[in-house]
Structure 1
Amino acid sequence: MVAVIGLITVLLPPYDGPWWVIGLAVLVLGLSALVFFASRLRGRRSWLDPLAAYLLFPYAALLHDAAGAGAGGSSSGMTALLLLPILWLAITGTPHQLWVASALAVLTFAVPIVLVGPPGYSWGDWRRAVVWCAVALVIAPVLQRIVRDLVRQSRRVRIANDRVERLFDDAPHGVALLDPVGTIIRVNVSMSVMVGLEPVDMVGHRLGAFETPGEDRIQDHLGRLMFRRGESHSTECRLRDSGGNDVNVSLSSTVVSDSEMGDIVMVNVVDISDRRRYLDRLSHLADHDVLTGLANRRRFETELERHLDHCRRHGPSGALLLLDLDNFKQVNDSLGHNAGDQLLVVIAGLLRRSIRSTDVVGRLGGDEFAILLTDADQADAARVAELVVERVRTHAATLDGVARRVTASVGAVTFRAASEHAADALALADMTMYDAKEAGRNQVAVLTEGDVRGPRTSARLHWQSRIEAALENDRFELHLQPIMNIADGRISSAEVLLRLRDQDELVPPARFIYIAERVGLMPRVDAWVVDKSLELLARLRREHDPEFEFEVNLSGHSIGSTEIESVIVSSLATHGVDPSALILEITETAAVGDVALARDFAERMTDLGCAFALDDFGAGFGSFYYLKHLFFDYVKIDGEFVAHVHESQVDRTIMRSIVGIARDLGKRTVAEFVSSQEILDVCREEGVDFAQGYLIGKPVPYDEFVERFMPSATAVARG
């Protein structure tokens, strides 16, 4: 355009330039234009790009001549056109091309002087040539550097803006920009996907409009944020998506000042629905029985203690029912544990439907259940107990085989009756329940208010005498359950499990351990178990495997006991067992009343050379507390997270987390409840060290254990 304006200026009269000079200038300008457009069509730089600028030098020389007085010369005003190609190359060209432009600028003046000479072109035009050469050589490179710096800075700004845009749009969590009152200015894709709308459909609406109806947390959050602008604020709330589903989110916000738009609130929105479900499940698992979903023993005892506090403040009210299934062991022995578990689940459902929503039903262990009636007198307690017995009997009548013989024995105690006897309500209910069993089972026994005689059979004292007799007459038995080293498939250790021989029945520990704990016999029982276990371990190491190890359970009531400690020390010496072969196992849910005392005990046993295992890890929120404050060498993953790990991604994630934490702390892991090859494969893939469960082997007496597992101890590689 500048070149064309220069041409028009020359064409306007008056002028004395020859017509052929102007015609040649027009031709050169047209050629320069063609070269320019041709270079643009190529899409990339080539020799055509500077050629268009080079052609402007002869064009400027022709106009310089045509516009001069007479035949051109120094009076021509078209000299300024030389700036056009020089600036053009300074902006778009290279330093080499500027050198060429300098040469062409000199030639533009030198050629007419040489060819035409005075008087048309005086020798003074050399000065003008020198000046234009200086412009091309000095000023143009400076301009070129300035332009290149501007281009680089513009590119950086553009790249930075593009990066910010991509970070905003592609952020894995939601991001929203709001004005100070909470109206959405912009949202990214993740935020729109979370709500189920397009970004454009959200702009202009209040963020609080997408919150679950009835909640106002977002507005409160923004109010606190604007009140204290210099700080970041976080909160949790629920958004409702376009499908009507609630999404649990965490908001983290800050105020950003903008010179043009004023204050802008930037909100990071993270979907925490999975984390919330995970925490809710952990909370549920901590307080509920894994199989039936009822309150577990710890939760039930918490509710019972809360009700007892209420009774102490407002007087005794309500009742406690203890239920035990008759002949349930025969179901497990004849039909298998799966059938027994299924029956327990059904019984749990019957119990739920037999009480009010304000009452509490829990599974205390095995086939024992408890019901807390928060507002009931003696007649109400008897009526609910009779209803439970009838429903269990009616359901069992519909079953086949030994399951038809399953009934319920219920002991019922009102809290008024318990206060009259100044005794523990749960212990009284247990004694009364055994009154029902000894009355022929499938019965209800109620501790009558005002009856100072108490339960007829005094079951608690009866069990106490049975435990004492078992200790004195060696009627306890030890069974061994194998534990396999997953790395090499070798049965390298076993867990020692206690049984009580009662005539022809082997009574599992769930039936009597809690009574032993209540009457203070547990340290004696644990002492017997430790001594007998070390006797068997010494024999097994001597005759079969000198590196074999035993895991021996200790009750929370025995931790720190001087009796237990002295028995461990003396038995190790008596039987000549290496202390490192003894692994003392403490259940994570055990009532460790004095953590400092337990820590001192664990420290002394560790100094002695014994190892410790934390059982049922993950069953309660105390897991990590115990792991931090007590000495443990092994972490036994609770069976709840193992039994379905091959089917549940959540269980597998929890297992992977436990294994990772244990490995980082230098602990080894044991997976319980390994009942199938699929579960074992997952345990191997996730890095679990040892496996225990029915796939590896059931608990059996010592002789059977040796016969079944020791001959193949070095060749049991599974999978």
Structure 2
Amino acid sequence: MSALERALERVLAVRAEFDRTRPSLRLMRPFGIALGVALVAVLIPPHDTSGALIVVLSVIYATILFAFIYSSLSEERTWVAPAAVFLVIPYLALLREAGGGHGSGYEPLFVAPVVWLAITGSKREMYAASLLIAAAILAPVWLIGGPRYPVDDLRLLLVFAVSAFVIGRVVQRIMVRLERETRTARAANERSARLFLDAPHGVAVLDLHGTIVLANGALGAIVGIRGRDMIGQSLAAFSAPGDDSVEAHVTRALESEADSGVSECVLRNDLGQDVHVSLSSRVLRHGDVEEPDILLVNVVDVSEQRRYHDRLAHLVDHDVLTGLANRRLFDLELQRHLERCRRYGPTGAVLLLDLDNFKQVNDSLGHNAGDELLVNIGSVLRRAVRSTDVVARLGGDEFGVIVTDGDQPAAAVVAQNIVDRIREHAATLDGVSRRVTASVGAVTFKAASDHSVDILALADMTMYDAKEAGRNQVALLPEGEARQPRLSARLQWQDRIEAALADDRFELMLQPIMHVETGLVDSAEALLRLRSEDGELVPPGRFVYIAERAGLMPQVDAWVVERSIAMLAEIRRDVPGFCLEVNLSGHSIGDAMVEQTIRDSLARHDVEARALILEITETAAVADVALAREFAMRLAELGCRFALDDFGAGFGSFYYLKHLIFDYVKIDGEFVANVHTSQVDRTILRSIVGIARDLGKETVAEFVSAPEILEVIREEGVDYAQGYLIGRPIPLEEFRQEFLLPRPADAPGALEP
């Protein structure tokens, strides 16, 4: 057992505080020996002491010893302890008598009782002993006198009385201070021992050979055995097989004079499980022989922290819902594979797939059903490719696959296998989920290098070929310089959109919106057009979806917002109550650049925010309802208002009524164009108007192209009308001349909630 371990056991075993009033036999032994030696000295010849006095002295001596032993063994201090000391005083007086009286030389022993009580007794007991000594010296002078006890003993009395008082007080002060310091040291030692043994993390004491000499319970809990059972073993013996990090840490710590630093190591517990720990060590040097140098090692279990960090690292690179790689990891793997292709030649392919009819699942069965389907599709994709291939969810219902090896026929086989498996899986489901299929665009890295176009853009556009060809199929981009006509057209349109942004070739048209009750046109919708190089105005239906696929829509919408608000400021100088509606793409909802453009433009042109009505198309908002709601809430706090466009065109109309923030409901033209001839359309229109009115919202009917339609929507209570009957989209100057007449700011008919 080590010295440190013995010291800890002694500290924890002796619970009682140091009590100087109950001395041990070890402390009593010198006093007993001194008294015994004095008794023996009386017997050394020549002496003329009577035998009876020797017997009395022996009996008193035995009584003193018995009282000493009894008081040391008793649990509490009793009257026996001071009585034994007081008995020493007549014992010394008799010894003095037996030794010849005044010349016997026993006088110095009279100091012993005072010193003893100064060490073990109270101040009162010490003073009492001093008085008894004075009486023991003075009484023979008065009672016997003569040559055996001359009057000179009075001077002896004075010397002994003063000496006993002074020495006793000094000794007692020393003992009180020693007692206090001992109690403090004992408490500190016990705290240190408890800190070691009850520390919440593992602590081990190693000798200079790396062997454990002491281990606490927390360390034992980490490795699954008791701390005492670890003693005598090397700490490295508890490492995971093949892991020498613990041994390296101990070696480094023993060689270093300062802290060894922190090491991440792995221990193996009794169940065979790996436990990740953090080790920090320091050598404690004593410099004496009795206490050798030791190594103190702190062991902290960081397994939970390691699992948490691993989980965070996993979430950074993986989709939370499906567990597949996310867009970030997909892009990293794509760049890594592109580097490989540049070094060793192009091989493999990129597959982009989009689920057909997935929106109907969300609209009809709810987002929980949609999420469950996405998880299942993720599992299908994992099983459809090799373990070396990368499968990722890129967002929504769009997935990507990097086929790391293989030519174009191999890529076509993998893509077709994916389409077939998704179709077969959906066939086992109920309801609208049965109609879910996949459209896949496949582009080999060789084809991408031949076309000198970004492979993701090529795969995305090729995927749209599959959708336009009827869905549930694969579109494969051929290798070589020849491009498919549709792909070439899309790439040309992407270039034209980028050029239009750079050269400011977009234009805005205004289509009037009339207040049905007053007949006044006090608002309009801004509609985007692209001016081609030959002067043709291209409608958004021909290029917006390409801009969305190319990621250009936020830039386009930022341009539209900036120009629309500038136009609105110009109009409101003549018609202060005028409002303008601006469409936002689903790809721009929540985009920080678009939101900041709205804020900056309103402030720069000093336009009241409530004059700007942002149209969110129902079919665009469905991609992320929560994102659309947060976006609307932030801008609503600014004062902007919102219109839910194309209401009724999607499958989740009522879901959006519940979850989206809006002020106006724009009824899809599908239910307006034939409302004067179709009772079904009129019934649907009446229902939408009733629901909007109950919710405190106003309605706008699109596709109002005939007086009969206008009359019907007026009868059904629609608030605003928009369509060719009211006016076609025209440039600002024409709009100003045809519809804008100066009127007071409080004129009726403005789009107010």
The one-letter code of the counterpart of 1:59 is: Y
Distance 2:425 2:334 in 1: 29
Which deviations, in whole Å up to 9, do the C-alpha atoms of 1:568-610 show, x marking residues without a partner? 4346x2225699xxxxxxxxxxxxxxxxxxxxxxxxxxxxxxx
Deviation of 1:55 after TM superposition, in Å, equals 2.1
SS in structure 2 of the partner of residue 74 of structure 1: helix
Which deviations, in whole Å up to 9, do the C-alpha atoms of 1:303-324 show, x marking residues without a partner? 1122222222332221010111
SS in structure 1 of the partner of residue 146 of structure 2: coil
Aligned to 2:591: 555
Aligned to 2:299: 269
Superposition pairs for residues 395-434 of structure 1, below 5 Å? 395-434=425-464
SS in structure 1 of the partner of residue 331 of structure 2: helix
Aligned to 1:575: 608
Superposition pairs for residues 333-352 of structure 1, below 5 Å? 333-352=363-382
Aligned to 2:273: 245
Q: Check if 1:525 corresponds to 2:561.
A: no
Q: Check if 1:699 corresponds to 2:660.
A: yes
Distance 1:182 1:287 in 2: 41
Over 3 Å counting, the alpha-carbon distance change for 1:324 and 1:533 in structure 2 is farther
SS in structure 1 of the partner of residue 379 of structure 2: helix
Q: Check if 1:86 corresponds to 2:86.
A: no
Distance 1:121 1:398 in 2: 126
> Rg: which structure is higher?
2
Please tell me whether the aligned partners of residues 332 and 339 of structure 1 are also in contact (alpha carbons under 8 angstroms).
Answer: yes
Of 374, 389, 392, the match for 2:404? 374
Deviation of 1:62 after TM superposition, in Å, equals 2.1
Superposition pairs for residues 205-604 of structure 1, below 5 Å? 205-259=233-287, 260=289, 261-450=291-480, 452-454=482-484, 456=486, 458=489, 515-516=547-548, 518=550, 520-526=552-558, 528=560, 555=591, 567-570=601-604, 573-576=606-609
Which deviations, in whole Å up to 9, do the C-alpha atoms of 1:230-273 show, x marking residues without a partner? 34322101111111111111111222212234442221111111
Aligned to 2:87: 55
Distance 1:62 1:474 in 2: 132
SS in structure 2 of the partner of residue 371 of structure 1: strand
Q: State the identity %.
A: 46
Q: Check if 1:129 corresponds to 2:165.
A: no
Q: More displaced, 11-20 or 193-202?
A: 11-20
Aligned to 2:522: none
Aligned to 1:588: none
Superposition pairs for residues 616-695 of structure 1, below 5 Å? none
Which deviations, in whole Å up to 9, do the C-alpha atoms of 1:157-215 show, x marking residues without a partner? 32222222111111111112223332222222211111111222212222111111111
Deviation of 1:396 after TM superposition, in Å, equals 0.8
Please tell me whether the aligned partners of residues 464 and 515 of structure 1 are also in contact (alpha carbons under 8 angstroms).
Answer: no
Q: More displaced, 372-381 or 298-307?
A: 298-307
Distance 1:252 1:84 in 2: 55
Distance 2:301 2:695 in 1: 50
Over 3 Å counting, the alpha-carbon distance change for 1:709 and 1:23 in structure 2 is farther
Q: Check if 1:65 corresponds to 2:97.
A: yes
SS in structure 1 of the partner of residue 205 of structure 2: strand
Distance 1:519 1:150 in 2: 83
Over 3 Å counting, the alpha-carbon distance change for 1:530 and 1:392 in structure 2 is farther
Deviation of 1:559 after TM superposition, in Å, equals 8.9
The CA RMSD over aligned residues, in Å, is 4.1
Provide the TM-score with structure 2 as the length reference: 0.65
Aligned to 2:213: 185
Distance 2:363 2:185 in 1: 77
SS in structure 1 of the partner of residue 443 of structure 2: strand
SS in structure 2 of the partner of residue 456 of structure 1: helix
Distance 1:472 1:578 in 2: 18
The one-letter code of the counterpart of 2:159 is: V
Deviation of 1:149 after TM superposition, in Å, equals 3.3
Give the count of matched residue pairs: 549
Deviation of 1:437 after TM superposition, in Å, equals 1.1
The one-letter code of the counterpart of 1:104 is: L
Of 155, 162, 166, the match for 2:183? 155
Provide the TM-score with structure 1 as the length reference: 0.68
The one-letter code of the counterpart of 1:575 is: E
Over 3 Å counting, the alpha-carbon distance change for 1:351 and 1:161 in structure 2 is same
Distance 1:566 1:448 in 2: 46
Deviation of 1:433 after TM superposition, in Å, equals 0.9
Please tell me whether the aligned partners of residues 101 and 136 of structure 1 are also in contact (alpha carbons under 8 angstroms).
Answer: no
Please tell me whether the aligned partners of residues 430 and 459 of structure 1 are also in contact (alpha carbons under 8 angstroms).
Answer: no
Please tell me whether the aligned partners of residues 115 and 167 of structure 2 are also in contact (alpha carbons under 8 angstroms).
Answer: no
Distance 1:166 1:616 in 2: 57
Over 3 Å counting, the alpha-carbon distance change for 1:555 and 1:421 in structure 2 is same
Over 3 Å counting, the alpha-carbon distance change for 1:695 and 1:519 in structure 2 is closer
Over 3 Å counting, the alpha-carbon distance change for 1:120 and 1:455 in structure 2 is farther
The one-letter code of the counterpart of 1:52 is: A
Distance 2:65 2:657 in 1: 89
Over 3 Å counting, the alpha-carbon distance change for 1:181 and 1:31 in structure 2 is closer
Which deviations, in whole Å up to 9, do the C-alpha atoms of 1:529-558 show, x marking residues without a partner? 6899999xx9xxx9xxxxxxxxx9553666
Please tell me whether the aligned partners of residues 432 and 459 of structure 1 are also in contact (alpha carbons under 8 angstroms).
Answer: no
Over 3 Å counting, the alpha-carbon distance change for 1:230 and 1:39 in structure 2 is closer
Distance 2:657 2:211 in 1: 62
Q: More displaced, 31-40 or 211-220?
A: 31-40
Deviation of 1:528 after TM superposition, in Å, equals 4.8
Aligned to 1:601: none
The one-letter code of the counterpart of 1:92 is: T
Which deviations, in whole Å up to 9, do the C-alpha atoms of 1:92-121 show, x marking residues without a partner? 122332222221111111001111121332
Please tell me whether the aligned partners of residues 294 and 361 of structure 1 are also in contact (alpha carbons under 8 angstroms).
Answer: yes
Please tell me whether the aligned partners of residues 523 and 564 of structure 1 are also in contact (alpha carbons under 8 angstroms).
Answer: no
Q: Check if 1:164 corresponds to 2:198.
A: no
Please tell me whether the aligned partners of residues 471 and 525 of structure 1 are also in contact (alpha carbons under 8 angstroms).
Answer: no
The one-letter code of the counterpart of 1:405 is: R
Deviation of 1:517 after TM superposition, in Å, equals 7.7
SS in structure 2 of the partner of residue 212 of structure 1: coil
Superposition pairs for residues 30-49 of structure 1, below 5 Å? 32=64, 36=68, 39-40=71-72, 43-49=75-81
Over 3 Å counting, the alpha-carbon distance change for 1:554 and 1:185 in structure 2 is same
Deviation of 1:394 after TM superposition, in Å, equals 0.8
The one-letter code of the counterpart of 1:371 is: V
